Structure 1
Amino acid sequence: MIAIGILGSEGRMGRAVALATEAAGAALAGGADAQDECQPLAQRADVLVDFSAPGALEDHLLAARIARTPILVGTTGLRERHHAMLDAAAQEIAVLQTGNTSLGVTLLARLVREAAAKLDWDIEIAEMHHRHKVDAPSGTALLLGEAAAAGRGLPLSELKVESRAGLTGARTEGTIGFASLRGGSVIGDHSVVFAGEGERIELNHLAQDRSTFAHGAVKAALWLAGQPAGRYSMSDVLGL
């Protein structure tokens, strides 16, 4: 039986992953929320699931590398330097990083990529989350933006527009716009709009329960436990 260790176990997602682990019939290796706990957890776990904070990623990856334990990173708000850390760790262990562990969002990203490749329409991405979320745009919005940019054959950094205020002028052709809304207890709503002349396509995903992400994370972790060193995505889990 594969044993899953949870980094950030006292957070909302950490607790949800613990319940999902039990529901999947997998073993729970335990949890860690302090720096001195992550190394012992990595040693006794077959795979780690990290839903903590960007500041803890370096320690968590080091623990995983020392123990040779695969790690799934679902922490959002990561920057370029964090991705460099993930790339380095993936030379030694299996690493899956994603902005969203929902199986539905994973499929949505594939549809967004295909639509962006076929249609030269304007692309706008809107997301809404609860009032306590600290990063914007959401990791999922950026994941969808990456999918759209990939469909266009360009890096998202060259196309992304995160804010519009004042007299910004007409929309720049080919850009991907982002809008972030915060309020209430919304778990996560995402919409990708393809706007053409006289017609529009909207691809939406509405998360109604946090357990959706937890069950997806557990499915991905169980898959990751058997993979060789390398960097993976949720698309790999679904074989897309």
Structure 2
Amino acid sequence: MERQTGIVVTGVSGRMGRMLVDQITASPDMRLTGAIERAGHGWIGQDLGTAMGGAASGIIVTDDARAALGNGQVVIDFTAPAATVSLAALCADVGVAHVIGTTGMSDGDIAAIDRAAERTAIVRAGNMSLGVNLLTLLVKQVAAALDDSYDIEVIEAHHRHKVDAPSGTALMLGQAAADGRGVALPDVADRGRDGITGARVPGHIGFSAVRGGDIIGDHDVMFAADGEQITLRHRASDRSLFARGALKAALWVANRAPGHYDMLDVLGLKPTK
């Protein structure tokens, strides 16, 4: 039997953390080697299995990330920007690969992750699903084919608890549209409309966010011109697809050379230059 990949999960008490633990436990290709939570969390010092309401697992939840990383090859991280940036630097220090599903990052956060990726392998994606990453390729192709008489609007919907907007996936899709048109997204993004905004600026890429209920994640990219609209859509109906994508990324990135990768690299979909 081939050696299993050792996985550390941070933010282990959250919905995604629990799903990752369940899928790692069921996988023959990987094993859980560490569980991290923020300082002061009620699970600190407890056996992870017991804390999750099951049998003891032998994994003790800790807030000492350096100690937890010492037993693993890859850490999977769906937490918050500040925690993710700090963990990226630590992963670079100790030589552990880092899979990042955290969204809401600033340009400064991404620059810090770029620096960490000079010393360790990092996979970062606003969305880990196969379907969404295929959608980004389609959006880029359609945007390249249509001129700016077609207005582009990225429309996303998520559950009431989501704290960032637009979603990381919406920004991925907006970036794909901007790349297709050969423009810089910050120069053409309209990320909020309220009051008397004036007419839409030709060539701009708009973002609309909906928050409510338990919506897992819906994303539409609309290309609207006089007389017709084209809409590309992805709808998530099961949150576990994001965990599956993250674990696929973890297996792929283990022992990979330092670099800042994305899910198109993991899925073998990166366009050739």
User: Using the alignment, how far apart are the partners of 2:23 and 2:180 within structure 1?
Assistant: 33
Give 2:212's match in structure 1, choosing from 156, 180, 183.
183
Q: Which amino acid aligns with 1:90?
A: A
Q: What displacement does 1:40 show?
A: 1.3
Preserved CA contact (<8 Å) 2:190 2:205: yes
Matched, 1:11 2:14: yes
- Counterpart position of 1:75: 102
Q: How does 1:187-198 map to 2 (within 5 A)?
A: 187-198=216-227
Q: What displacement does 1:41 show?
A: 1.7
Matched, 1:108 2:132: no
Percent identity (aligned): 47
Unmatched tracts of structure 1, length 5 or more: none
Q: How does 1:43-58 map to 2 (within 5 A)?
A: 43-58=70-85
Which of the two has higher C-alpha Rg? 2
SS at match of 1:75: coil
**1:29-50 deviations in whole A, cap 9, x for unaligned?**
1210136421112211111111
Q: What displacement does 1:67 show?
A: 1.2
Matched, 1:134 2:163: yes
Matched, 1:66 2:93: yes
Name the TM-score, length of structure 1 as normaliser: 0.96
User: Using the alignment, how far apart are the partners of 1:155 and 1:19 within structure 2?
Assistant: 40
Q: What displacement does 1:165 show?
A: 1.7
What is the number of equivalent residue pairs in this alignment? 240
Matched, 1:20 2:47: no
Q: Which amino acid aligns with 1:6?
A: V
SS at match of 1:44: coil
RMSD over aligned Cα, in angstroms?
1.2
Preserved CA contact (<8 Å) 2:160 2:214: yes
SS at match of 2:252: helix
User: Using the alignment, how far apart are the partners of 1:59 and 1:83 within structure 2?
Assistant: 12
Matched, 1:159 2:167: no
Change (3 A) 1:24 1:145: farther
**1:165-185 deviations in whole A, cap 9, x for unaligned?**
222111101110000001111
- Counterpart position of 1:208: 237
Higher relative contact order (CA 8 A, sep 6+): 1
Following superposition, which runs of at least 4 residues in structure 1 exceed 6 angstroms of deviation? Answer: none
Preserved CA contact (<8 Å) 2:89 2:113: no
Give 1:172's match in structure 2, choosing from 201, 205, 210.
201
SS at match of 1:165: coil
Q: What displacement does 1:23 show?
A: 3.5
Q: Which amino acid aligns with 1:76?
A: T
Unmatched tracts of structure 2, length 5 or more: 40-62
